[in-house]
Structure 1
Amino acid sequence: MKSLIFTIAVLFTLVLGEISENEKYTEKYDSLDIDAIIGNKRLMAAYVRCVLEKGKCTPEGKLLKAHITDALQTGCSKCTIAQKGAMRKVIHHLIKENPGAWEALLDKYDPEKVYVEKYHHQLNSVLEE
């Protein structure tokens, strides 16, 4: 469960652009107001529905969804510092404020709990904040 939050947070905060191997995700969205997104239940729900393939996606949401698996598999190695910080905010929000969405995301992207185990330490540090 916690690793999925990590993943979703990565995805929501990255709003990734196109990348090639060995590059970072685009910095184009690094200034995205994550607090405004997580503070708006309707907007946050729209991103969750997009990532779960249960609703329409904005162009940013489509890119986010396209890179979830890569971000999980690589530990967000292509993330910028700003993206990693935003990711922590989103993870914390999902765990504390929207556990149902977190569970749905986990069921979709980590049903065998591979990433929960892999990112256990990082997720616990986010929860301690």
Structure 2
Amino acid sequence: MQRLSLGKSVLRVKDLAAMREFFTHVLRLPMLLQSTTTAVFELGTDIRGHTQVLMLISGDGADAPQHLTLEVSDDQFPATCEHLRAQGAALFESDNSSAPGCAWRILACQAPEGHRLQVVSIDPGRCAPASAFPSAAANP
């Protein structure tokens, strides 16, 4: 998995066991560390090679439900799609794109505690060809 778009990389949760189960078994994210009150998951690495993580912390004051977006590569999407659809996720696909590189495939599913998860990937096979657009040099 490549990256999780989230305003912050820490979620305060009520039911750590349910959230840990979701991220471990449903999303198959590797757990780096865990304790009785925390769990830290590896999301992937950025272009500089730094590990991106998500930390769950249990206790009072759980966060309001968040909208999470997890981006996966085009080659990872079919297996991710198959696995998440077996878990009840719905698949949405954009129509053929009018611009190169933006025909999205989106899996949407409910996560514990009311969080909403979308897994997204770009499908290059359904994007408009680059030759369909005039180059910037052609416009004075």
Please indicate, yes or no, whether the TM-score normalized by the shorter chain is above 0.5.
no
TM-score (norm 2): 0.27
When Rg is computed on C-alpha atoms for both structures, the one with the higher figure is 2
Q: Relative contact order (C-alpha < 8 Å, sep 6+): which is higher?
A: 1
Give the structure with the larger strand fraction.
2
